[in-house]
Homo-oligomer: A and B are copies of this chain.
Amino acid sequence: MNELKIFTPATIANVSCGFDVLGLALDNVGDEMIIRKIPENGIIISKIEGQDLPLETHKNVAGVAGLALLAEAEATHGFEIEIIKRIKPGSGIGSSAASSAGAVWAINELLGKPFNTSDLVRFAMEGERLATGVAHADNVAPALFGGFTLVRSYEPLDIISVNTPSELYATVIHPQIEVKTSDAREILRTTVQLKDAIKQWGNVGGLISGLYTEDYDLIGRSLQDHIIEPIRSILIPAFDSVKKNSIKAGALGCGISGSGPSIFALSKGEETALNVGEAMKAAYNKVGIKYDVHVSKVNKQGIKIIN
């Protein structure tokens, strides 16, 4: 095998109560990548379709993540990467993570799988470090494992793949405004009220329980964020009305995707998820900002080979 074409999914990080630790992968929203062996050592980004992103290996997240893998691999050759970029950078649904995770996943396949998935998360995090200044794992982990993932710990890195109920669908609205991850991080306070933190870890516990027992109602009750959302939502126009409309349309819960500006909702079943999409659109049509809406099953597989 000298070449692979893959689908690498968009991801929703944080998932309301799980700031910096929870994430999930989408099923029909993502990039495509072609990775092929080349005789020269190192990594070449030969082509990026769809977005204006740097081709220089050291400035490209897929390049940096791939080099992190190669630094620990015994490879007698290098890799060429083409990216067909469908996820818009800065949308808050893991655009850089899809590229980083896709690159290391495909290179690992082409090398005969010398690394396990947790290793791949570690390499892909180097792409995230380039993209945002912080090597976070909450997008690359679900892209690589599929489904829901929990970053239990960063030191040492400990990723838990969490059961994902089959009827869980995500609806995402991406308003075409820019919220820089660094800005979204800067407005956060470094301390939080203990009473709010207790509510938050109660909800994390409830969400994880609900995922294992496939209790959709419990999942919904647990999708609350008492710490980050009250601060970050002010950066997102019409956040409150999108959330209100989504819940009214039957969503289990609704919150900020990653650091925004995308807003996500989770629903039981595709029909409800589609209705939630219409309800989100109705809220945004009043605002006068362009948007995209995605409806997707939560993807249990993660990155996959396509034709």
Binding site for B on A (CB under 8 A): 17-22, 150-153, 158, 160, 162-163, 188-195, 197-209, 212-213, 218, 221-222, 227
Copies of this chain in the oligomer = 2
A218 CB to nearest chain B CB (Å): 7
Query: Which of chain B's residues have a CB closer than 8 A to the CB of A202?
Result: 20-21, 150-153
B191 touches A158 (CB 8 A): no
A209 CB to nearest chain B CB (Å): 5
A194 touches B191 (CB 8 A): yes
B197 touches A200 (CB 8 A): yes
A23 to B150 alpha-carbon distance, docked (Å): 22
A218 to B194 alpha-carbon distance, docked (Å): 25
A152 touches B221 (CB 8 A): yes
* 25 interchain pairs, CB-CB under 8 A: A18-B205, A20-B202, A21-B198, A21-B201, A21-B205, A22-B205, A150-B202, A151-B202, A152-B202, A152-B209, A152-B218, A153-B202, A153-B203, A160-B205, A160-B206, A163-B212, A190-B195, A191-B193, A194-B227, A197-B227, A201-B201, A204-B208, A205-B205, A208-B208, A209-B212
- Further 16 A-B residue pairs, CB within 8 A, beyond A205-B205, A212-B213: A18-B205, A19-B201, A20-B202, A21-B201, A21-B202, A150-B206, A152-B203, A152-B206, A160-B205, A162-B209, A191-B191, A191-B192, A191-B194, A192-B192, A192-B197, A204-B205
A253 to B8 alpha-carbon distance, docked (Å): 38
Closest 6 CB pairs of A and B: A152-B206, A212-B212, A201-B201, A208-B208, A197-B197, A201-B204
B192 touches A158 (CB 8 A): no
